Structure 1
Amino acid sequence: MNEESTVTQEVTQELEKETSALMSLIEDVDWQSLLISAAFTLIKIVLSLIAIYIIYRIVKYLVNSFFQKRFSTKEELPNRFKTMENITNSVLLAVTIFIAAYTVLSLMGIPVGTLLAGAGVLGLAVSFGAQGFVSDVINGFRIVFEEQMHVGDTVILEDLEGTVQQVGIQTTVIRDYEGVIHYVPNREIIIVSNKSRSNLRVLIQLPLYAETDLALVRKVINKVNEDLIIKFEEEITSNPDSVSFVPYTNGQVAAQIIMYTKPKDMFTVRNYAFEAYVAELNKAGIDLPDYVVTTSMAN
């Protein structure tokens, strides 16, 4: 019991010494100066962040104004400038965040240079895991500067088809025809089939019974074509050719019409033409099978 009591007393005395030293250290601290210094540092940080934000907004406004002005003078390539605007804004935001973080750490007295040096060593260690990110960025810049696709273009990326919503330095955003948004890493984009760079072919086939009066069919379709040329003067880039008759399934033949349109007008012209052909053929007393086929492909 005496030995245990002695050990307890020694431990208690040691704790008292440490507590006394800690209290002495706390008492020696000039809390008023410390709080004043912290308050000034906080004010500096707030003012610096406000200044950085104001500069960011000014630069962003100038960038957006520049691209909007380019839109008004470069109507033939608005999507390209929209894409470049998005990327420029992304880079600007990243640079602003880096500057803000660097400023805050510096004002807090944290040795940023030492951290960056350590980050270099750490970056070397994690660089193998960042290869995908680097590939995304490199391929993203290649897509933009080679003008493979722009915002608003209709493209096919392997088995994905839709409209380009955004081309970023890391990810490309595609909206398919069902409205689903797809985020595609740029490193996964190998082949880009752009349907907005050239005129599109509209191919319409109207199946007919073998005993149909083909001369009457030709006359009706040619009349519809004349109306189409007038109605879609701006949209149709190559007028409908003369109707041709090709073999079809089940002993039938098909009336085939081909025309070319601007990319964005292909579906409008095709649907209108199809309805006009069927309506006029029915009006002329020409019976059609229960189904027809329409297809389109790029030129």
Structure 2
Amino acid sequence: MTDVELSFQAPECDPGDNWCDTVKQLTGNQWLASSADWLVAKPLTIILILIVAMVIRSLARKLIDRLTRASGGNIPTLLRPLRERAPQALGTLLSERRAQRAKTIGSVFKSITSVLVFGIAFMMILAELGVNLAPVLASAGILGVAVGFGAQNVVKDFLSGVFMMLEDQYGVGDVVDVGEASGTVEAVGLRITTMRDVNGTVWYVRNGEILRVGNSSQGFAVAVVDVPIGYGADVGQATDILGRIATYAAENEPVAEDVLEPPEVLGVERVSATEGIMLRMTVKVRPGRQWAVQRTLRARIMEAFEDAGIQGPVVRGYTNNSEA
């Protein structure tokens, strides 16, 4: 045998290499037998890794869907250990809020599951191909630090959105004040909260920029009604009328369905030269209904004061041109 023939001679199978022996018996080709590990074993292993990864991901997603699905109006299993701040009296709105909250948290868990499962599968495939993972992991770590530093605001918004969802700070339909903007929440995302104020302006607020949240729609609200009277008015008579009209209005439509407790007349709140004597009363009402109740009570109380002859405060410096 010549030197050229020796240089192209395929290596013999290693002892105990079943794949090599099997391929050699089936094909009779020594080169295919010696390459069986790369041609057969490794591709099959990689395919098996991918299949197992997809099965695990599918099972995990189905489990997350099951945990975030509400059946028969019940609380989704994923939300049961978490605290809920929304009032039970909201009914349908509360169910929609739970569904949205569970869906958003579930989407986060699905994304995390996909990244973890396919990331581990990718590393296993590289190891199967004989790639040294140490430099790869080091490079990935450096790249992750660089991306995290460049996108730190996005990461901050995302994490703030996750904690906001878990803590149930607010939801769709809540009336909130986040500092620069206030209004009704129309959409809640992991990065952006969408709000619409009383003028109809839509505000897009980054979750990472929200330092405090004032929620007027959790549990209950308090309708505060301030009614001014003049210095010459009978405070006792005005207070009696205030309590009687407020109690009557709270027991009848359209205010009755929003009132949770009887009105409480607090009496004189303040005295000033411009506003006269200010009487105050409060009513505990359903969340988000305090402004409608205030408007209704104020209108009826002012009408009752006018019928009883109770004068309002006199504005100093006002000149009526018709009498001039």
Contact map agreement 1:202 1:258 (CA 8 A) in 2: yes
Tell me how far apart the structure 1 counterparts of residues 106 and 189 of structure 2 sit (CA, whole Å).
10
Moved more, 147-156 or 271-280: 147-156
Q: Say whether residues 1:66 and 2:69 are aligned partners.
A: yes
Q: Which runs of 5+ in 2 are unaligned?
A: 1-57, 81-86, 89-93, 118-130, 316-324
SS in 2 for 1:218: helix
Superposed displacement of residue 130, structure 1: 1.7
Residue pair 1:139, 1:186 contacting (<8 A) in 2 also: yes
Q: CA deviation at 1:250?
A: 4.2
Question: Where does 1:72-221 land on structure 2 (aligned, <5 Å)?
Answer: 76=88, 77-78=94-95, 79-88=97-106, 122-221=143-242
Where 1:274 maps in the other structure, the secondary structure is helix
Contact 1:83 1:151 in 2 (8 A): no
In 1, Cα distance between the equivalents of 2:198 and 2:70?
29
Shift in Å, 1:220? 2.2
Distance 2:275 2:313 in 1: 12
Shift, 1:120, TM fit: 7.2
Q: Is 1:260 equivalent to 2:284 in the alignment? A: yes
Match of 2:17 in 1: none
SS at match of 1:137: helix
- The equivalent residue for 1:226 is 247
Shift of 1:66: 2.9
Hey, what's the Cα distance between the residues in 2 that align with 1:223 and 1:134? Answer: 56
Partner-residue secondary structure (3-state), 1:141? helix
Please tell me the residue identity of whatever aligns with 2:296. Answer: Y
Residue 305 of structure 2 corresponds to 281
The question of whether the paired residues in 2 share the 8 Å contact of 1:207 and 1:255 is answered with yes
- Partner deviation per Cα, 1:136-175 (whole Å, 9 max, x = no partner): 2111111111111122212111232112222212222222
1: CA distance, partners of 2:71 / 2:185: 19
Q: Does the Cα contact within 8 Å between 1:207 and 1:288 map onto a contact in 2?
A: yes
Residue aligned with 1:259, SS: strand
**1:15 matched to which residue of 2?**
none
Higher relative contact order (CA 8 A, sep 6+): 1
What amino acid is the match of 1:282?
A: E
Work out whether residues 210 and 251 of structure 1, in 8 Å CA contact, stay in contact via their aligned partners in 2: no
Question: For 1:68 and 1:177, how far apart are their aligned partners in 2?
Answer: 35
The aligned counterpart of 1:240 is 263
Residue equivalent to 1:36: none
Tell whether the 8 Å contact from 2:175 to 2:185 is kept in structure 1 after alignment: yes
Shift of 1:239: 1.9
Structure 2 length normalisation: TM-score?
0.56
- Residue pair 2:223, 2:284 contacting (<8 A) in 1 also: yes
Would you say how many aligned residue pairs link Structure 1 and Structure 2? Answer: 226
Structure 2 CA distance, aligned partners of 1:94 and 1:178? 39
Between the aligned partners of 1:69 and 1:93, the Cα distance in structure 2 is 27
Please report how far the alpha carbon of residue 92 of structure 1 lies from its aligned counterpart in structure 2 after TM superposition.
6.0
CA contact (8 A) 2:277 2:313 kept: no
Do the aligned partners of 1:154 and 1:194 also contact (CA within 8 Å) in 2?
A: yes
> Closer, same or farther in 2 for the Cα pair 1:288/1:178, shift >3 Å?
same
Q: Do the aligned partners of residues 165 and 94 (structure 1) sit closer, same or farther apart at CA in structure 2, a change above 3 Å counting?
A: farther
Q: Gapped runs of 5+ residues in structure 1? A: 1-54, 100-112, 292-299
Measure, in 2, the Cα distance between the counterparts of 1:288 and 1:95. Answer: 66
CA-atom RMSD in angstroms: 4.0
**1:239 is aligned with what amino acid?**
P
Distance 1:72 1:186, change over 3 A: closer
